[in-house]
Amino acid sequence: MRIVLLGATGFVGRHLLPELSQRGHRCVLLCRAVSRCGQLRLVPGVELRPMPTAANLSAALAGADAVINLIGILNERGRNGRGFRKVHVGITENLIEACRISGVRRVVHMSALNAGKGTSHYLASKGEAENLLRQADFLDVTIVQPSVIFGAGDAFFNRFASLLRRTPVLPLACPDARLQPVWVGDVVNAIGNILENPWTIGRSLELAGPRVYTLRELVRFTARASGRPCWIIGLPDAVSRLQGWLMDFVPGKPFSSDNYKSLQVDNVSRHNALPELGITPHSINAEVTAYLSGSQHQRRLDDWRQRAGVE
């Protein structure tokens, strides 16, 4: 199968490309800066092409058997939702039109658990993009709705591990928010199975791990796994909201008012589709411990090399 991928230079894409390659698929990866994606060219069957303009996207899709859209952001530069809509809704609109022109029918779209629920711009824009795809009756669409995705190189456990390295005390917003983290290996395996199973067409499939945790429990686990004892102070709701507002003005937005709004909706699956796809969900225990403890070992080795003057 010849598959065109959008947004595959990110965390999920870097894990997905080897999975698709092992299954014998040929992948065309559209990326904004081909020179920065050279390492992905080493994956067998992967072809790198510059990301075309919206007007030329249909030409890039010509001859494809399927399209996978992984494009998404967790935070926007502003606070009014325009950044989320530009990425999640605008690009989806362009993709639908490009598929109509090129004749590509099969689309796998990465959305999020709780898309369209709550008051956050992130979830609202994800839900709007889903609705656009469902209304495009000339497409064979499968929508993937994962919970928080973890794995080597993730932006969840690794971010908290980074914060814990800097302070022995961590004020934690929304400590009782409930999440059901899913391993990236299970997510990419699911996408591979979705492409090979016609019964997934027209479905929205929730992907989640085997257990529900509070955010406080996940941060405590991170502290143990990374060997960084920490005093975690759960903030009350009003202070959590204030922290989100203040962080809106911090470069990089480690937390934001929109993140706060997203966490008001439990990130928990009502029907986890992984077993239906023939996949037994992996827990955080072995997977996260392996890469956080490995990172800790690597940091110690790098520190020793620097002190010893070893290159």
All domains of the chain in start order, with CATH: 2-154+179-211+266-282 (3.40.50.720)
Three-state DSSP state, 172: strand
Q: What is the pLDDT of residues 19-62, one digit of tens each?
A: 999 999 999 999 988 877 878 888 999 999 999 999 999 999 99
Q: What is the pLDDT of residues 232-282, one digit of tens each?
A: 999 999 999 999 999 999 988 989 999 999 999 999 999 999 999 999 999
Q: What is the pLDDT of residues 218-237, one digit of tens each?
A: 999 999 998 888 899 999 99
**According to the model, what pLDDT value does residue 299 have?**
45
Sign of CA dihedral 71, 76, 79, 82: negative
Question: For residues 56 and 94, is the Cβ–Cβ distance under 8 A?
Answer: no
**According to the model, what pLDDT value does residue 294 have?**
63
In 3D space, the residue among 152, 76, 138 whose CA is nearest the CA of residue 107 turns out to be 138
Three-state DSSP state, 170: strand
b or e along 272-309 (b: 16 or more beta carbons within 10 Å of the residue's beta carbon)?
A: bbbeebebebbebeebbbebbeebbeeeeeeeeeeeee
**Cα–Cα distance measured from residue 303 to residue 292, given in angstroms and rounded to the nearest whole number:** 17
**According to the model, what pLDDT value does residue 310 have?**
39
Strand 140-146 and strand 106-110: the pairing is parallel
Question: For residues 213 and 181, is the Cβ–Cβ distance under 8 A?
Answer: yes
Give the pTM.
0.92
Which string of DSSP letters, residue by residue, matches 188-235? HHHHHHHHT-GGGTT-EEEE--S--EEHHHHHHHHHHHTT---EEEEP
